[in-house]
Amino acid sequence: MKKIEMMVFDFDGTLVYSGDDLANSVNHTLKKLGMPVLDRKTIIGFVGDGVARLIKRSLGDERHDMFDEAMEIFKAHYAEHLLDTTVLYPGVRDILEHFKDRKKLIVTNKLYSYTLKIAEELGIDGYFEAIIGADSVPRRKPDSGLLIPLLKEYGVGKRNTVVIGDGVNDILLAKNTGTLSCALLNGLGDRDRLLSLGPDYRCEDISELKKLFQ
């Protein structure tokens, strides 16, 4: 097992299952704009680069003129419905407790206010040194400029830090920064794309982290 000092967790698709609430808010937005709704799988494929990209992709190339209105509709709806069906993935609380003596961060392209509210309501916010959202710092995943200052702030080495996530941006963040990467294959991200990036570690389930790291 690899000894680590810090664990950097993605949020959506890694710690919490939030796909249905995101998809429902996107489709609410499209309905309000008089546009046809999208199937859940298509919307989930748009997740991972923040809310603006999610909305742009959902609108499609033809309807960028509706972007500002769509953002307002989505944000208002999602703020009220982000916990309708969103839950922790099985084993998450056990893993956070198991690694309670390790430094842990949430680093997500989701807006900070949404992330904090969900983490608080699901009772996991206290496990983390910090929660970094898309609007918390100037850089976003997979920019190494996001993670390098955090490594310095918490005094940990690159090869003693692992980025854990279900998205391409998580693996690329680790590779761009020089940290270890661990792909979660049961989240919202595309499994084949994750594996094609050659992550240092892979898990079918988050509980497997116990066997990989100490």
174 and 146 in one domain?
A: yes
The total number of structural domains that make up the chain:
2
Q: What integer best gives the mean pLDDT of the chain?
A: 96
Domain assignment of residue 99, yes or no: yes
Report how far Cα 208 is from the mean position of its chain's Cα atoms.
19
Residue 143 lies in a domain: yes
On whether residue 101 sits in a domain, the answer given is yes
DSSP, residue by residue, 42-110: HHHTTTTS-HHHHHHHHH-GGGGGGHHHHHHHHHHHHHHHTTSS-EEPTTHHHHHHHTTTSEEEEE-SS
Instruction: Indicate whether 105 and 177 sit together in one domain.
Output: yes
pLDDT (tens digit per residue) in 138-163? 999 999 999 999 999 999 999 999 99
Q: Is residue 170 part of a domain?
A: yes
Residues 71 and 42 placed together within one structural domain of the fold = yes
Same domain flag for 123 and 181: yes
User: What CATH code is carried by the domain that includes residue 91?
Assistant: 3.40.50.1000
Q: What are the CA-CA distances from residue 31 to residues 84, 140, 184 (Å)?
A: 19, 30, 33
Residue-range definition of the domain harbouring residue 178: 6-17+86-212
Contact 36, 16 (CB under 8 A): no
Percentage of residues of the chain with pLDDT beyond 90: 96
Kindly tell me if the per-residue pLDDT of 62 is higher than 80: no
In-domain check, residue 163: yes
pLDDT 10s digits, 91-107: 999 999 999 999 999 99
Judged against a pLDDT cut of 90, whether residue 64 lies above it is answered with: no
Tell me the catalytic residues: 10
Q: Say whether pTM exceeds 0.75.
A: yes
